[in-house]
Amino acid sequence: MTSYEKLINAQKINSSMLCVGLDPDINKLPVSYNKRPEEILRFNQAIIEATKDIACCYKINFAFFEQYGITGYEILKKTFEAIPDWLFTIADAKRGDIGNTSAAYANSVLDYFKADSITVSPYMGKDSVTPFLNFQKKMVFILALTSNEGSGDFQRLISDGQPVYSHVVNKSKSWGGKSQIGYVVGATHPDELKVIRKLIPENCLLIPGIGAQGGDIEATIKANDRGPAIINVSRAIIYASNGDDFAEKAREKALEYREMMKK
Amino acid sequence: MTSYEKLINAQKINSSMLCVGLDPDINKLPVSYNKRPEEILRFNQAIIEATKDIACCYKINFAFFEQYGITGYEILKKTFEAIPDWLFTIADAKRGDIGNTSAAYANSVLDYFKADSITVSPYMGKDSVTPFLNFQKKMVFILALTSNEGSGDFQRLISDGQPVYSHVVNKSKSWGGKSQIGYVVGATHPDELKVIRKLIPENCLLIPGIGAQGGDIEATIKANDRGPAIINVSRAIIYASNGDDFAEKAREKALEYREMMKK
């Protein structure tokens, strides 16, 4: 089975577009936890256990593990192992470099960590992305229009009548099939999401920016126009409570978000 | 002392613009070595020992360590520790994400690994770069025009009469002082390097692409016009021989490159 098929399956089984983003931060762990990196694994396991029948996938933010050094890296490996095999995983690592280096990143993320997919920055062009596509059963989510304020700095520059992000989408969509190439488009820009959806009606969108970042679910769902999509929520779910009921509250929030996405 | 001062110092002491790039690959280790990730540390230590009075800095390519998982990450930490304190280090990690995530990457690379500087992708704009600049003694090298073929895909798109890479340079140069912000410009594009140098006469350029990638040293030095710069050579030095004389041959190559850069 390809990772794309796994995603479609998981979306059907859990009747869900919801992706739970794991951005572990020791300062936000439940008050009863020790504020030590080692506690992150227990936290992640509890969040996964509480949401595995609600989410279609988990987005693992590499930075939040890497900041704890070797301990963090070990927890990153064990977090991937804690996710049931039939659920899709996104390595949110924003990698991209010259060919031989992207190939090494692909070995790390897609082979060593066994992620189903990875987020990739397009700035360095085709030969920085294709080494990831050489893992033919896996997926790549190319940054198109990101959810943050800085997305306006370069992604929206107009060249030949089109913003840079449209050039990224139009050029890269031919680098692989729709079961391998998806795009990151922030929920904070529903009008542009609609434009991008029209450029690539069949590619999967990974949509961050809901929850703490302020994106609107209803506008996002409408702009997405029933295309294949994953909608990510991180902080608003995993830090719904910092009491001992954190997993229960995360589950409640995840259920709420899943229902809102169904409308 | 700031990292920038450390760099200028090291360049004076070793009379060198040469950066040795550490891209360790077990398949290219000396024939007498076991082809095991653990051997990489011994290899790196020998290369550092053989070149520490010739190079002004070392560029550590994170992908080549990350591909070996937790073992690779441990070797990465020990490789940083093997570099003498007075020599400048570049974490070639090409990171960049939304603010809280870039802040976590900065913690990892600049605090945990104690790198003097990091390469950063500008695609996500200002708030993806400034968290690294919050480490006020450290440096950031923003990708402007990279050395690879794919640099032509999006970096050269023309907007408002200027290529995207010029927009990147012109906009980002105000995000911090010249002792904090440098740029990556490939030696494979000397004409454009000249243009970029005029836009930022005082910022440090990190110039890859010499050696295996085919960039020309003489044209590069001329285009750089005596601005502050670091010229990186990786494979052509560290894999100069795969015999037991590999460190000696690396030293010879490093001396050759340093002399060529002085002309």
Read off the pLDDT of residues B150-170 as tens digits, 9 standing for 90 and up: 999 999 999 999 999 999 999
Distance from CA of B37 to the nearest CA of A (A): 13
- The predicted pLDDT at position A263 comes to 75
pLDDT at B214: 84
The residue-averaged pLDDT of A84-109 equals 98
Mean pLDDT of A226-242: 96
Q: Are B167 and A150 a contacting pair at CB < 8 A?
A: no
Which pLDDT value is given to residue B47? Answer: 98
Q: What is the 3-state secondary structure (H, E, C) of chain B?
A: CCHHHHHHHHHHHCCCCEEEEECCCHHHCCCCCCCCCCHHHHHHHHHHHHHCCCCCEEEEEHHHHHCCHHHHHHHHHHHHHHCCCCCEEEEEEEECCCHHHHHHHHHHHHHHCCCCEEEECCCCCHHHHHHHHCCCCCEEEEEEECCCCCHHHHCCCEECCEEHHHHHHHHHHHHCCCCCEEEEECCCCHHHHHHHHHHCCCCCEEECCECCCCECHHHHHHHHCCCCEEEEECHHHHCCCCCCCHHHHHHHHHHHHHHHHHC
| Alpha-carbon distance B167 to nearest alpha carbon in chain A (angstroms) | 8
Residues 6+ apart with CB under 8 A from A20: A47, A48, A51, A55, A57, A58, A59, A232, A233, A234, A237, A238, A250, A254
Catalytic residue among A94, A137, A173, A194: A94
Convert the pLDDT of each residue in B193-249 to its tens digit: 999 999 999 999 999 999 878 889 999 999 999 999 999 999 999 999 999 999 999
Write the pLDDT tens digit of every residue in A63-75: 999 999 999 999 9
> What's the rounded mean pLDDT across residues A201-216?
92
* Domain range summary for chain A, segments of one domain joined by +: 3-262
* Beta-carbon separation of B148 and A63 below 8 A: no
Task: Per-residue pLDDT tens, chain B, 263 aa: give them.
Answer: 999 999 999 999 999 999 999 999 999 999 999 999 999 999 999 999 999 999 999 999 999 999 999 999 999 999 999 999 999 999 999 999 999 999 999 999 999 999 999 999 999 999 999 999 999 999 999 999 999 999 999 999 999 999 999 999 999 999 999 999 999 999 999 999 999 999 999 999 999 999 878 889 999 999 999 999 999 999 999 999 999 999 999 999 999 999 999 87
Count contacts between A and B (CB, < 8 Å). Answer: 190
Give the closest of A95, A111, A125 to B154, CB-based: A125
pLDDT at A215: 86
- The stretch A34-45 carries a mean pLDDT of 96
pLDDT score for A252: 98
Contact B94 A98 (CB under 8 A): no
Mean pLDDT of A183-208: 97
What pLDDT is recorded for position B175? 98
Tell me the fold of B3-262: TIM Barrel (3.20.20)
Please check whether residue B234 is in contact with residue B44, taking contact to mean a CB–CB distance below 8 angstroms. Answer: no
pLDDT at B134: 98
> How far apart (Å, rounded) are the C-alpha atoms in residues A29 and B47?
42
Q: Dump pLDDT digits (tens) for A124-177.
A: 999 999 999 999 999 999 999 999 999 999 999 999 999 999 999 999 999 999
pLDDT number for residue B215: 86
Mean pLDDT across A55-83:
98
Length of chain B: 263
Contact B101 A64 (CB under 8 A): yes
| pLDDT for residue B212 | 78
Question: What average pLDDT does the segment A11-27 reach?
Answer: 97
- Whether A77 shows a pLDDT value over 90: the answer reads yes
How sure is the predictor about A214, in pLDDT bands with cuts at 50, 70 and 90? confident
- Cα B168 to Cα B189: distance, rounded to the nearest angstrom: 17
Residue of A22, A80, A98 to mutate for B, most B C-beta atoms under 10 A: A98
User: Which pLDDT value is given to residue B128?
Assistant: 98
Rounded-to-integer distance, Cα B178 and Cα B175, Å: 10
